[in-house]
Each structure stands twice: as structure tokens, then as C-alpha cells.
Amino acid sequence: MANIISAEAEYGIVERNTKSQIVEKNRYENMSNIGFGLMSLMFKVRSALNPPKRLLDEMEIKEGMTIVDYGCGPGSYIKDASEMAGDSGTVYAADINPLAVAAVDKITQKSGLKNVKTVKVDGYHCPVDDNQADLIYALDMFHAVDDPKAFLTELHRVVKPDGVLIIDSGHQPAEEAKEKIVSSGLWKITEERDIFMRCSPLQ
């Protein structure tokens, strides 16, 4: 009986966590202009304290790379990523929220970033061709993904066979994030840092 109660309790926790993630995802996808504006302001403050280029430097971006900023939000990393990829590179700014796509479009127009392309994610479909990305980074968003296998499968489709995924835990325990990645059977974690995990696609 104790084992049954324990299992039910554990299932209840998983169910509540899953519902919480779905609510958070839907809240972001349908965020109001005011809500998105407040989030953007918070990100600007964060960027002022911790410049995005410091993190991008750790990703070993090279000129000419094709990069996917998955879950780009208001575009905190876009200008630096664009500069690092250079004229011969491409940066795809991908997000499920149309306000995020519009925000990055505004940045690219204002700053003349000709190597940046915005794409609207539909569910787990990212409108980028197969085997395109040398590097995908997905930051501060993994916790909100309600179907990790579908998400990681789509990233696997987009990345080149010798490409790299940089992903962090977001607002979930690191061990939980690692388990999702490993259990997908699609990615190998090749490096673990406090700030992110570096992953290579399994063939």
C-alpha cells in the first residue's frame, strides 16, 4: 500500500509539473503587448549586467556559420550573433511568439543586420531546412517545453551532422534537463558547464 501511495504521489507531482509547463508555454505564446514589453525590459537590464557577447564567446562562433537562436525572445543575442557570424554567415531568429519575431525584425531593420532571418515556430516545427545549422542555441526556455522529445527531434532535424546544440536548464533542475536530453536518444552531452550544456547530434 505504501508503494502505491508513493507512486500516486510521484505521478501527481509529475502531472502538476507538466501542467505548469504547459500553462507557462501557452502564457508566453499568447503574451500581451504589455507583458512582452515588461519581459523585454527585464532582459535589457539583464544584458546590461551580463552582456550577451560574453556567453556567445563561450560558444566558439566562427565567421560564416549558420546559427539558430531558438527561442530568441526580444532578441538579446541577435546583434552580437549577427556580427560574429559575419556577412558570409546566417542567423535564424526563431520563436513561437509573434511579438518576439516582430521585435527582432525591428532590431534587424534598425541596425541593418542583413544576415538575420526571423522565423515563426509553429508548435514544434521550425521553418528552417534540414541539416542547416552549424550551431543552435536555446537559452532560458527548456523548462517551458512540454514535449522535450518533439522539441529535441526538431532541433536534431535542423542541425548539421557535425553541428552543435548549446542549451541550458532554464528554470528546472540541471539533472532533469540532462535526463530529457539523454533519454531522447538524439543527442550526446559532450560538455557540461554551470551556464550551459554542449551537445552533439547522434546519427
Q: Which residues contact 18 (CB under 8 A, 6 or more apart)?
A: 146
Q: What does the pLDDT profile of the chain (203 residues) look like in tens digits?
A: 333 333 333 333 333 344 444 444 445 555 666 666 676 667 666 666 677 899 999 999 999 999 999 999 999 999 999 999 999 999 999 999 999 999 999 999 999 999 999 999 999 999 999 999 999 999 999 998 999 999 999 999 999 999 999 999 999 999 999 999 999 999 999 999 999 999 999 98
pTM listed for this prediction = 0.80
Provide the 8-state DSSP code for 142.
G
Q: Which domains does the chain have, with CATH numbers?
A: 2-201 (3.40.50.150)
Q: What angle do CA 119, 120, 125 make, to 5 degrees?
A: 100
Helix%, strand%, coil% for the chain, nearest 5: 50, 20, 30
Nearest to 64 by CA among 94, 99, 90, 41: 90
